[in-house]
């Protein structure tokens, strides 16, 4: 008999900023109650690879009397462009969607970001519910209300904060994922372990293979613990004015790598490299112990994640990092660790320190 869903609650300053995150199996039946009685029309946005899943969600909604449509977008980061958002706006407009209607995202983090942005900008904001189908989407992108699209200048530089009405993290979706998708999604889980919950790291170290087994109790606990950390942080800091910045641990270099790779590298793989870089930077400036820095590499390698990147890309990476959202003027800022569960912001006084740290992960 399947376990009952776990409900984690984001508590914002207003009712519109507060919402449940359900984790469990077979969660589609909760959709009508979460949409509420005022919603008459729903647009289900899904990637090409999840056409069947998108159709299932649409049909579930049609069966309870809602007018449900689908909008198919390109897979992965190819879907996070202004032209794709414009296509979705066109569908909403031609079908007379009003402020009382809703958008549902079905897919990974890229779909969550795009659909959330579409919902945030249509009529200055309509209801959105996320149904993440990837591990990365469940533990990171779907929770928190950050939406965005990519431009030639960088990732997520255009976006909005738009909290969802709910998130349904249906664990059944993980059973169909390729192993590589599970592995890359683990990078965000590892990140959360280092910045907030050491038990996450211990669960992985005890059995790395079981940690990426889609049906295991261990993976469910890792997902719930990771979401719980994000729910807590987001509840305190919706718009990244304080502690929420710590969730970007490892992401400054990661986003620069994604830009350099023209978004052909999986986000989780880039984050894994970024975590190792942040650990080396913290070690080199005296904040992070040798033991903690080495633990990054050991855990990430045990999961099959990359820990090094090309030496010859430094100039491009530095340029990409200067566009980071956390930068203040010309000053680069990084999240580093003083201890497990004790992150801090480090303002880099000299880019030569970054270059020295990069040499430790270069290949």
Please enumerate, by residue number, every residue annotated as part of a binding site for Zn(2+): 188, 251, 267
Is 322 a residue of the active site? no
Separation CA 323–CA 327 (nearest Å): 7
Q: What one-character-per-residue DSSP string does 25-94 give? A: SS-GGGHHHHH-TT--EEEEEEEGGGHHHHHHHHHHHHHTT-EEEEEEE-SGGGG-SHHHHHHHHHHHHH
Q: Which helix (H) or strand (E) holds 342?
A: strand 342-347
**DSSP state letter for 2:** P
Q: What one-character-per-residue DSSP string does 228-247 give? A: HHHHHHHHH-TTSSSGGGGG
Closest CA to 3 of 228, 211, 227, 223: 223
In this structure, the number of other CB atoms found within 10 A of the CB of residue 263 comes to 17
Question: Phi and psi (nearest 5°) for 214?
Answer: -60, -20
Candidates 58, 255, 266, 295; catalytic one = 255
Candidates 225, 230, 266, 283; catalytic one = 230
Strand partners, 169: 23
Candidates 181, 188, 245, 258; catalytic one = 188
Is 240 a residue of the active site? yes
Asked if 125 and 119 touch (Cβ cutoff 8 Å), the reply is yes
Candidates 248, 266, 280, 283; catalytic one = 248
Is 251 a residue of the active site? yes
Candidates 220, 267, 283, 296; catalytic one = 267
Phi-psi label, residue 24: left if phi above 0, alpha if psi -120 to 50, beta otherwise: left
Candidates 13, 94, 124, 291; catalytic one = 124
For the chain, the helix, strand and coil percentages under 3-state DSSP, each to the nearest 5: 50, 20, 30
Candidates 30, 127, 251, 295; catalytic one = 251
Annotated binding site for NAD(+): 75-80, 109-113, 133-134, 146, 155
Annotated binding site: 75-80, 109-113, 133-134, 146, 155, 188, 251, 267
Closest CA to 272 of 258, 291, 286, 282: 258
Is 146 a residue of the active site? yes
Closest CA to 320 of 277, 257, 267, 240: 257
Cα diameter, the chain: 61
Candidates 46, 58, 127, 240; catalytic one = 240
Residues 6+ apart with CB under 8 A from 140: 109, 188, 226, 230
Is 325 a residue of the active site? no
Is 81 a residue of the active site? no
Is 244 a residue of the active site? yes
Is 94 a residue of the active site? no
Asked if 215 and 361 touch (Cβ cutoff 8 Å), the reply is no
Is 342 a residue of the active site? no
Is 267 a residue of the active site? yes
Catalytic residues: 124, 146, 188, 230, 240, 244, 248, 251, 255, 267
């Amino acid at each position: 008999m399947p376990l009952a869903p776990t409900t984690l609650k984001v508590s914002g300053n207003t009712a519109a900023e507060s919402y449940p995150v359900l984790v469990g199996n077979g969660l589609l039946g909760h959709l009508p109650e979460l949409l509420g009685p005022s919603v008459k029309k729903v647009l289900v946005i899904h990637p090409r690879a999840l056409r069947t899943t998108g159709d299932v969600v649409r049909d579930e909604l049609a069966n309870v009397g809602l007018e449900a449509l689908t909008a198919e977008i390109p897979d992965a980061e190819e879907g996070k462009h202004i032209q794709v958002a414009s296509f979705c706006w066109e569908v909403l407009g031609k079908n007379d969607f009003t402020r009382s209607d809703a958008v549902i995202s079905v897919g990974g983090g890229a779909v969550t970001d795009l659909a959330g942005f579409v919902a945030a900008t249509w009529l200055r904001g309509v209801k959105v519910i996320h149904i993440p189908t990837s591990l990365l989407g469940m533990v990171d992108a779907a929770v928190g209300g950050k939406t965005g699209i990519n431009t030639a200048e960088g990732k997520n530089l255009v976006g909005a904060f738009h909290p969802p009405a709910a998130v349904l993290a249906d664990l059944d979706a993980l059973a169909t994922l390729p192993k590589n998708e599970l592995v890359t999604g683990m990078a965000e889980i590892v990140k959360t372990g280092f910045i907030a919950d050491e038990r996450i790291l211990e669960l992985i170290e005890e059995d790395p293979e079981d940690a990426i087994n889609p049906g295991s109790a261990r993976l469910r606990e890792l997902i719930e613990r990771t979401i719980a950390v994000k729910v807590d942080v987001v509840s305190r800091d919706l718009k990244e004015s304080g502690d929420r910045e710590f969730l970007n641990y490892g992401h400054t270099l990661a986003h620069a790598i994604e830009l350099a790779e023209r978004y052909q590298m999986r986000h989780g793989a880039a984050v894994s490299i970024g975590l190792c870089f942040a650990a080396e930077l913290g070690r080199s400036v005296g904040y992070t112990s040798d033991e903690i820095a080495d633990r990054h590499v050991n855990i990430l390698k045990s999961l099959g994640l990359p820990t090094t990147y090309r030496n010859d890309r430094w100039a491009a990476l530095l340029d990409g990092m200067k566009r980071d959202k956390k930068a203040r003027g010309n000053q680069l800022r990084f999240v580093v660790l003083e201890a497990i569960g004790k992150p801090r912001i480090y303002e880099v006084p000299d880019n030569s320190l970054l270059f020295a740290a990069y040499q430790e992960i270069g290949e």
